[in-house]
């Protein structure tokens, strides 16, 4: 571990804060959220755990910020994918196209999906009201972006586009959890073909779920 030296300037503090976030993001490339510990994060950054806590009040605060950034990057890349994919004249067909494009866009976003799956049960449980408020405000901005995209491609949803947006985020986390089972559950699937049928493919299951939600939203809106 390197010798800790207090960051004196705002620039130095921000640099150290970014180093913590970048290190945590790198760890998530190789491990699930549940395995990322504050002790190991501090070791990899080269700081004492107490010094990491000068910049983030908890492990969960670090992960909430990573979730905010991951969702922002995903939404920044989503518009051109939807423009290319959602082209049908009929609303029902556009709903299917939108579902397929959104599911495909999330397939390579393993870290984002992992963080979404842990958001309510884990990440929001060990943070102050201040951190929670900052994250929820950012999440509200992200939801507004996704809602606007839904309205652009499925204007028939009207005011219900916001609800469809919330549904998409919720089911993404849920499907991600079930589509990436533990090693013991995978072994159980392989041992018994009857229960192996319960195993789901992330992209296909998310596509059909979003398509069903979109179809229901269109039906209710009409």
Are 26 and 108 part of one and the same domain? Answer: no
Helices (H), 88-160: 91-107, 110-118, 129-153
The answer to whether the pTM exceeds 0.75 is: yes
**pLDDT digits over 64-83, tens only?**
999 999 999 999 999 999 99
Are 48 and 115 part of one and the same domain? Answer: no
Domain that holds residue 66: 58-221
Are 135 and 73 part of one and the same domain? Answer: yes
Are 205 and 131 part of one and the same domain? Answer: yes
Are 18 and 40 part of one and the same domain? Answer: yes
Are 36 and 87 part of one and the same domain? Answer: no
CATH number reported for the structural domain that contains residue 201 in this entry: 1.10.357.10
Are 145 and 171 part of one and the same domain? Answer: yes
Nearest 10 degrees: CA dihedral of 48, 23, 118, 105? 170
Domain boundary among 56, 81, 101: 56
**Per-residue pLDDT at 16 exceeds 80:** yes
Q: How is 72-102 classified by DSSP, letter by letter?
A: HHHHHHHHHHHHHH---SSHHHHHHHHHHHH
**pLDDT digits over 20-55, tens only?**
999 999 999 999 999 999 999 999 999 999 999 999
Domain boundary among 28, 56, 84: 56
Domain boundary among 37, 56, 75: 56
Are 52 and 78 part of one and the same domain? Answer: no
Measure CA 190 to chain center: 29
**Per-residue pLDDT at 5 exceeds 60:** no
Query: Which of 8-12, 121-125, 181-185, 196-200 comes out lowest in average pLDDT?
Result: 8-12
**pLDDT digits over 152-178, tens only?**
999 999 999 999 999 999 999 999 999
Are 95 and 164 part of one and the same domain? Answer: yes
**pLDDT digits over 80-137, tens only?**
999 999 999 999 999 999 999 999 999 999 999 999 999 999 999 999 999 999 999 9
Residues contacting 147, CB < 8 A, separation 6+: 161, 162, 165
Are 145 and 88 part of one and the same domain? Answer: yes
Measured over the CA atoms of residue 153, residue 158, residue 160 and residue 166, the dihedral's sign is positive
Number of structural domains the chain divides into: 2
Would you place residue 4 in the very low, low, confident or very high pLDDT band (cuts 50, 70, 90)?
very low
CATH number reported for the structural domain that contains residue 37 in this entry: 1.10.10.60
Are 39 and 132 part of one and the same domain? Answer: no
pLDDT at 1: 42
Distance (Å, whole) CA 200 – CA 143: 27
Would you place residue 193 in the very low, low, confident or very high pLDDT band (cuts 50, 70, 90)?
confident
Are 157 and 91 part of one and the same domain? Answer: yes
Nearest to 161 by CA among 169, 145, 153, 150: 150
Give the DSSP H/E element, type plus range, for residue 56.
none
- Over range 171-190, report the average pLDDT: 92
Distance (Å, whole) CA 43 – CA 41: 5
pLDDT at 197: 84
- Cβ–Cβ < 8 Å for 111, 70: yes
What's 124's DSSP letter? T
pLDDT at 3: 45
Distance (Å, whole) CA 172 – CA 100: 13
Q: Which residue has the tokens 């393993």?
A: 110
Measure CA 39 to chain center: 24
């Amino acid at each position: 571990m390197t010798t800790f030296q207090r960051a004196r300037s705002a620039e130095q503090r921000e640099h150290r804060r970014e180093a913590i976030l970048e290190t945590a993001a790198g760890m998530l490339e190789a491990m699930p959220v549940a395995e990322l510990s504050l002790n190991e994060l501090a070791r990899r950054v080269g700081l004492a755990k107490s010094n990491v806590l000068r910049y983030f009040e908890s492990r969960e605060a670090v992960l909430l910020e990573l979730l905010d950034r991951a969702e922002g990057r995903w939404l920044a890349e989503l518009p051109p994918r939807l423009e290319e994919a959602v082209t049908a004249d009929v609303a029902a067909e556009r709903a299917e196209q939108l579902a397929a494009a959104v599911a495909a866009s999330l397939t390579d976003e393993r870290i984002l999906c992992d963080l979404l799956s842990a958001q309510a049960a884990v990440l929001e449980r060990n943070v102050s009201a201040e951190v929670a408020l900052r994250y929820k405000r950012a999440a509200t901005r992200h939801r507004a972006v996704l809602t606007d995209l839904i309205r652009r491609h499925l204007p028939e949803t009207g005011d219900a586009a916001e609800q469809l947006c919330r549904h998409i985020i919720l089911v993404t986390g849920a499907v991600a959890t079930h589509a990436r089972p533990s090693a013991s559950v995978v072994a159980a699937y392989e041992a018994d073909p009857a229960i192996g049928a319960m195993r789901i493919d992330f992209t296909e299951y998310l596509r059909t779920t979003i398509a069903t939600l979109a179809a229901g939203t269109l039906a209710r809106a009409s």
